[in-house]
Structure 1
Amino acid sequence: MTDTHLEEEAKLWTSMLQPNTQMLSKKKSRHNKVIRSFTLIHSYFVAFFSQLAEKYGPIYTLKLGTQRVVVLQGYNIMKEALIAQGDAFVDRGIVPIFEDVIKGQGVVTSCGEKWKQLCRFSLMTLRNFGIGNRSIEERVQEEAQCPVEELRKTKGWFYNFLPAFRVYLPGKHKIISRNLEKMKHFILERVKEHQKMLDPNNPQVYIDCYLSKMQQEKENPHSEFDLENLITPAVDLFAAGTETTSSTLRYGLLLILKHPEIRAKIHEEIDHVIGHIRVPSITDRQDMPYMDAMVHEVQRFSDLLPLNLHHAVNQDVKFKNYVLPKGTTILPVLSSVLYDSKEFLNPDQFDPQHFLDKNGKFKKSDYFMPFSIGKRSCLGEGLARMELFLFLTTILQNFTLKPVGDPNAISIKTNQVGFFTVPPHYQLCFLPH
């Protein structure tokens, strides 16, 4: 691709990434063109951003609609920004659809003192409930048995895996808004129930802890603990803790279905380490390097949040011989790290060997960052990693996956991506193992 073509493509695609208000007001036919074009980004943007980085370096500016965004491409520069200078890059950049619906509330999109208070409280509360350590394992094991029991009822009949989450696309903002409002209403009803029976000395769930904190802070004029900031973080935790894990599980089963040689190695390791009598435990992970590597590879390959969530600098920052003015939106491209060919030999191929050494032992990689890095990384990383290992291990302990139709016809390429990558629709059979 020539420089001229590259620049033309940049203008085209970046205009689609975030339409300006004039584009949104155009006729529906043109608007649908933007929607269809937006869904093509998944097969294009890795090469697109890589080409821009080759020409302009690992840091460059794009104009996304009406907004100028500084793009960070690659492990070293991302680590320097989000870790070494993390305090300055900790704010959230403005994403119009989030701003319209969430309005800067909650843990995910808030900034400044509000984010500090809510993040500190959420982390402490989640840890007190066992998130991130083995005290929560028993609950995850119980949940992992639920899909197994449901799948047994199919008696080997094929099972449809449909994307449960519709991607964030231009023109879909009204649907997203309605869905989020329904979720907020659901959370509000639960809050009302807990308000009636609240025992501050014996909190049972996150909502109880927050309501108690509200009571403690009611005389503090600088407190961020109000009802709106309870509902939105609850929605954040509910949505981020369910959709991301379920999408990764669906992608994982699809990839295992596509690769029978990988499936065979997984079954061999499960049979050897766990057998078919006892329930899998997170302690098994240290004795199951292939399974551990496979789960990591699912997360790397599926690239669930390819463009990351926008960051912003909260002060004027000198960074890589540039001065980034306060408020500058930062786009740290996770795909550039997860698909780095210097770290992963064949990044476009699904291969658990990317996380195994020459002796077959599990090999960590600093480039593994599906949860992002730094102070705005995913709060539920520990729980998500436990869930993915236990759910996939439990399912594969009990079932053999069989494709419906020609296995060579299985496609692992998604045709829809917005802020999140979603797996394609597929069918499979679960045969008792």
Structure 2
Amino acid sequence: MEFQSTLVLVGLMVVLLTYFRWRGKKGIHLPPGPTGLPVLGNLLQVDKKEPFKTFVKLSETYGPVLTLNLGLQRTVVLVGFKTVKEALIDQGEEFTGRVPMPLLQKIVQGHGLTISNGDQWRQLRRFTLSTLRDFGMGRKIMEDWIREESKHLIDSLRSTNSAPCDHTFFFNRAVSNVVCSLVFGQRFDYKDNNFLQLLKAISVTLQFISKPWGQLYNLFPRMFDILPGEHHRVFAGFEKLRAFVKERIQKHQETLSPDCPRDYIDCYLIKLSKEKDIPMNVFTYKNLVGTVLNLFLAGTETTSTTIRYAIMMLIKHPQIQERVHQEIDNVIGRERLPLMEDRKSLPFTDAVIHEVQRVLDIVPLSLPRYATQDISFKGYTIPKDTVIIPLLHSVLRDDEHWETPLSFNPGHFLDQNENFKKSPAFMVFSAGKRSCVGESLARMELFLFLVALLQRFTFTCPGGPDSLDPTPELSSFASLPRRYELIATPR
């Protein structure tokens, strides 16, 4: 019996090895890569906490385009600025496919802008961009909303009376309220406990996605769905956010005036009503729920995390914080709130904000792409159904474009005359046709919130600059800074 079991096991291994070889050949020229194991592929070779480091290291052997098998999923990784640019910009149309990532599929139940492809993605993206712009994204009205929200944020920090505090949800509430103004047509009081619970659900979800356990769920979702674990608690918590979104949509339906839309949800409901009889209509109720969840999740956590990291780096480098203070004092003073037009007169402050984003490297793997058809790229064939990872981490650390890629150096964004300069390798919002929908909003929020805060506070922490560890606590799907206590002292 034992011999028979061994024989069956050996036979299964042979079948799986043959399967992997068949997948790798089929008469196509795949990018090179390391040999993997049956079923697991190259998983055991990948750093589970910081997978991007493994990919960069492998590219030194196999080149800037390499193939890995992560579990049963064939994956092509693109490394370095030149390679990523060629894919996302020069051949942008071929790389617009979005991978059906099981975790995101589960969260949005297979609907919404982020995970859609083809004509559905194009229509949802075009509508979302135009509608958000109509309601102020990147415009003066949005600038006024952010400036008004800045007052609430400043008052919250002032209420700490310079005592050490966990400031995470101070920033989350402010940033989320800007998104809420666009999507729901209203902001929420900082003391609203229900609002705080929803923000916690978003934070917990992003943390889980960024843990090795979350990444393994993406590779073996069916197995994890029947196993106990943290993922079930995360999904249950996110259901509260889904219920909240549905409740807001219901209230909008009850009070909708087609001639006077108030926000994104109103515009979508009007569009849904007009096109409900069109065959294959993409403007469905489920896509509305999914897209609102996309905007809420992405628009809250990434920007607030960047603000939290920016404050950490300014505490870590007090001489840089002091120089920012001086520049703001000289240009704006400490009375009026900043305007976007001030940015051109604050080159060092602008450089610091950009360098914070570069060093934080908020989404090191980017949101993976997907080959919806065979793609010819740099002499290789990327077969249909291959996951494609444009490694943004490698772009933001490319030593051909950054003088000191591993160091925090605002000089990366300053020319010899101390004027702000752009860099083509600044791809924190990705690039090409699937770049971040909320890029202009995030840029505006980061500048207006941070300048307003630095106008009025000096930031320190109980243990001093040396007590802070700027390396991320989690860094796979997203780079999440370590928690630290903040002291905000009025200037």
Does the TM-score normalized on the shorter chain lie above 0.5? Answer: yes
Any conservation in 2 of the 1:104–1:111 contact (CA below 8 Å)? no
Equivalent of 1:375 in 433, 454, 464 = 433
Partner AA of 1:134 in structure 2: K
* 1:210-229 equivalence runs, <5 A: 210-229=268-287
**Where in structure 1 do 4 or more consecutive aligned residues deviate above 6 Å?**
6-9
Question: 1:251: which partner in 2?
Answer: 309
Q: Does 1:237 align with 2:243?
A: no
Q: Does 1:66 align with 2:72?
A: yes
Partner AA of 2:251 in structure 1: E
Any conservation in 1 of the 2:36–2:69 contact (CA below 8 Å)? no
CA distance in 1, matches of 2:230, 2:412: 37
CA distance in 2, matches of 1:102, 1:275: 45
Equivalent of 2:267 in 185, 190, 209 = 209
Deviation at 1:279, TM superposition (A): 1.0
CA distance in 2, matches of 1:47, 1:221: 46
CA distance in 1, matches of 2:103, 2:131: 29
* 1:25-424 equivalence runs, <5 A: 38=48, 40-41=49-50, 45-162=51-168, 165-166=203-204, 167=207, 168=209, 169=211, 170=213, 172-424=230-482
Residues 326 and 284 from structure 1, CA distance in 2 versus in 1: closer, same or farther, beyond 3 angstroms? same
Any conservation in 1 of the 2:52–2:365 contact (CA below 8 Å)? no
Which segment is superposed worse, 253-262 or 97-106? 97-106
Any conservation in 2 of the 1:69–1:328 contact (CA below 8 Å)? yes
Any conservation in 2 of the 1:344–1:354 contact (CA below 8 Å)? yes
Unaligned runs of 5+ in 2: 1-33, 170-199, 214-228
CA distance in 2, matches of 1:179, 1:16: 31
CA distance in 2, matches of 1:7, 1:157: 55
Any conservation in 2 of the 1:59–1:73 contact (CA below 8 Å)? yes
Deviation at 1:49, TM superposition (A): 2.1
CA distance in 2, matches of 1:15, 1:47: 14
Unaligned runs of 5+ in 1: 1-5, 19-36
Question: 2:43: which partner in 1?
Answer: 15
Deviation at 1:133, TM superposition (A): 2.7
Deviation at 1:407, TM superposition (A): 2.6
Deviation at 1:232, TM superposition (A): 0.6
Any conservation in 2 of the 1:97–1:173 contact (CA below 8 Å)? no
Any conservation in 2 of the 1:92–1:110 contact (CA below 8 Å)? yes
Question: 2:193: which partner in 1?
Answer: none
Any conservation in 1 of the 2:162–2:489 contact (CA below 8 Å)? yes
Deviation at 1:87, TM superposition (A): 1.2
CA distance in 2, matches of 1:7, 1:406: 47
Any conservation in 2 of the 1:130–1:136 contact (CA below 8 Å)? yes
Any conservation in 2 of the 1:94–1:329 contact (CA below 8 Å)? no
CA distance in 2, matches of 1:203, 1:16: 53
Residues 182 and 279 from structure 1, CA distance in 2 versus in 1: closer, same or farther, beyond 3 angstroms? same
Any conservation in 1 of the 2:365–2:476 contact (CA below 8 Å)? no
Which segment is superposed worse, 234-243 or 101-110? 101-110
Deviation at 1:260, TM superposition (A): 0.6
CA distance in 2, matches of 1:417, 1:75: 20
Report the identity percentage. 42
* Structure number with bigger Rg: 2
CA distance in 1, matches of 2:234, 2:431: 27
Which segment is superposed worse, 272-281 or 155-164? 155-164
Deviation at 1:144, TM superposition (A): 1.5
Which segment is superposed worse, 176-185 or 335-344? 176-185
CA distance in 2, matches of 1:90, 1:255: 34
TM-score, normalised to structure 2's length?
0.79
Any conservation in 2 of the 1:94–1:310 contact (CA below 8 Å)? no
Residues 74 and 13 from structure 1, CA distance in 2 versus in 1: closer, same or farther, beyond 3 angstroms? farther
C-alpha offsets along residues 149-207 of structure 1, whole Å, 9 cap, x if unaligned?
A: 11111111112145862321325432332233221110000011010110011000111
Any conservation in 2 of the 1:274–1:280 contact (CA below 8 Å)? yes
TM-score, normalised to structure 1's length?
0.89
Deviation at 1:271, TM superposition (A): 0.6
